[in-house]
Amino acid sequence: MQGDFFQLLKEQGYQFGVPAAAGSEVDIPNATTILAFKYRDGVLVAGDRRATAGNTVMYDRTDKVLEIDRHSVMAIAGVPATAYEMARILEHSFKYYRRTQLQELSFEGKLRALSKLLKENVAAALAGTGAVAPIFAGYDLEQGAAKTYFYDILGAEFEGVEYAVSGSGSPTIRGILHYLNTWGEQPLSEMQEEQAAIQALRLLTSAAEFDSATGGVNREANLYPVIKFITASGVRTMPDTQLKPLFEMKVARHV
């Protein structure tokens, strides 16, 4: 198919998703926790910053919310090395399609592209060396709507009608999201940007409280989750200078 960058790579001998040798004992870093939910103007995507290998904290400044193009984001839970490679392939695939076809790839096409990469990675995922369970969120310009999807490690995709979560801290925050969206003062989709950011900070703080693999806020190191907003205008990151006062006033004072 014209415009298929991943197919072009394969034709040139590129191999993706090759598992490590059987029986190899390797502590592979894993990234958790990620979430996405629709708010009034679009969709919010957020992730904590911790990467772990077994019971060891490998890194506390991991970026798990990766901008793929102007209107789409992939958040990663699983093995960062594999996820980053997927993100690079997707980024170049979308650019390649745009330049060869002189038009943007449809939102459905973007979803299929990620699913295809995950299916190619099944061998590594089942071997335990490259499992990734991402969230893909973006703004569908053709339909004028924000959308969010989550995937299993085999490439099956599921639409998060209101929200989506993945990673080791997801069981905690899935229940909270259901409660907020069903019995909260207002549905998630009616929240303004600042309200949505406050909820994301509270959710990830709750996940960190009950899941050791999820990193919380480190005020001394000025370390906060990554929060991005996707609207018709594109992807925008909320800077730490905005997250810090929101956390101090709306999260830290209540815990």
Chain position carrying tokens 């991991």: 62
Report d(CA 85, CA 248) in Å as an integer. Answer: 36
User: What are phi and psi for residue 110, nearest 5 degrees?
Assistant: -65, -40
Q: Which of 32, 52, 148, 214 is catalytic?
A: 32
Helix (H, G, I), strand (E, B) or coil at 17: coil
Determine whether 52 is an active site residue. Answer: no
- In the sheet with 226-231, reading across from the earlier edge strand, the strands are 163-166, 34-39, 42-47, 226-231, 234-237
Chain position carrying tokens 């449809």: 106
Task: Enumerate the β-bridge partners of residue 52.
Answer: 30, 57
Report d(CA 177, CA 181) in Å as an integer. Answer: 6
Cβ-contact 147, 107 below 8 angstroms: yes
**Helix, strand, coil % over all residues of the chain, rounded to 5:** 40, 25, 35
CA angle 151, 223, 146 (to 5 degrees): 35
- The pair of structure tokens assigned to 98 is 């745009």
- In angstroms and rounded to an integer, the radius of gyration of the C-alpha atoms of the chain is 18
So which residues are the catalytic ones? 32
